[in-house]
Amino acid sequence: MTTSNTKSTDGPFKVAIHSFKGGTGKSTIAANLAVSLALEGRNVGVMDLDLAGPGLHVLLELKQEDMKLTLNDFFLDKCSAVEPVIDLTRRLGLKKGKLVFVPASFRADDIVRVLSKGYEIQNFRIAIQEISRLHNLDCMIIDTHPGIDKSTLVAMGVCDMIVLISRIDSQDILGTGVMIEIANTLKKPGLLLANMIPPGVDREKVKQRLETLFNSPVTEVIPFYTEVLRALSTEVFILKNPDHDFARRLKNVVEVLQTSARAT
């Protein structure tokens, strides 16, 4: 993947979190990266663009009644882009920075409607611009649906950087190769993370193998942590466990993202 910076538009630094296969840890990493960036004093947005299988709101401890409007309503012309936004800064007890969330609906009819009607890339751009202007955002993190579908291509087209997450399962690795090809074709800078490395696997060897295979640096090789899985997606793990190794590794990723953002 290219590491050059090709910022697409003015506004916040836009990061799409993606993987070819499902269940690689995208939403977990999106929520925790967003909090980690906010704790660095940044104004951060995190958006659930997994319209077919939304889940970020669960990690952010929100319920249906907290989300009166969603991104689906915006795409269906029922509200403005800024109306669905929920400011979580105080709710999550963040002492620094700001964190706002753009939810997707998990009501079956909303999901079906938005998937069948679709939405335009231009509307997606407008949503990010308006939300960022109102909340003075430095960064927008976009959680995506796995694989290649329209929302993936829209997110990739609009973002300044793609964070690709892969497990080391052979199916994931094959798919990650496909995603890297797409990122390169779109000339999008990418950052590769290996996640859920099973206990007993030599992570340094994994890093070398993936870097050789993809001809691209691997920013972090994140172990499988029983504690993260045991949290059952009910919380932003690093908030309650700031000294955990997972928090330390995500901080390294944040460093790389901030360096890339500064260079644009």
Chain contacts with ligand ATP (rule: CB under 6 A): 19, 22-28, 50, 53, 55, 146, 195-196, 222, 224-225, 228-229, 233
Residue 28 interacting partner from ligand ATP, Mg ion, none (CB closer than 5 to 8 Å by kind):
ligand ATP
Please, which contacts does 62-71 make with residues 24 or more away whose CB atoms are closer than 8 Å?
62/86, 62/101, 62/103, 64/106, 64/107, 67/103, 67/105, 70/103, 70/104, 70/105, 70/110, 71/47, 71/102, 71/103, 71/104, 71/105, 71/127
Residue 123 interacting partner from Mg ion, ligand ATP, none (CB closer than 5 to 8 Å by kind):
none
Tell me the closest approach of the beta carbon of residue 27 to Mg ion, in angstroms: 3
Region for 164 from its dihedrals, namely left if φ exceeds 0, alpha if ψ lies in -120 to 50, beta otherwise: beta
CB 34 within 8 A of CB 89: no
Residue 141 bridge partners (DSSP) = 15, 46
* Nearest to ligand ATP of 26, 188 (CB atom): 26
* Nearest to ligand ATP of 27, 43 (CB atom): 27
Site for Mg ion, residues 137 to 166, rule: CB under 5 A: none
**Which one of 51-59, 65-73, 194-202, 215-223 is the stretch in contact with Mg ion (CB under 5 A)?**
51-59
CB 33 within 8 A of CB 57: no
Burial of 40 (0-12, 13-18, 19+ CB in 10 A): middle
Q: Which one among 14, 21, 26, 57 touches Mg ion, defined by CB under 5 A?
A: 26
Burial 100-124 (b: 16+ CB within 10 A, else e): bbbbbbbeeebbeebbeeebeeeeb
Give the pairing type, strands 218-223 and 98-102: unpaired
Binding of residue 103 to Mg ion (CB under 5 A): no
Tell me the closest approach of the beta carbon of residue 255 to ligand ATP, in angstroms: 19
Tell me the closest approach of the beta carbon of residue 95 to ligand ATP, in angstroms: 25
Tell me the closest approach of the beta carbon of residue 186 to ligand ATP, in angstroms: 21
Tell me the closest approach of the beta carbon of residue 58 to ligand ATP, in angstroms: 9
Residue 198 interacting partner from Mg ion, ligand ATP, none (CB closer than 5 to 8 Å by kind):
none
Tell me the closest approach of the beta carbon of residue 198 to ligand ATP, in angstroms: 10
Q: Is 139 helix (H, G, I), strand (E, B) or coil?
A: strand
**Which one of 23-31, 103-111, 116-124, 148-156 is the stretch in contact with Mg ion (CB under 5 A)?**
23-31
Positions touching Mg ion (CB under 5 A) are: 26-27, 55
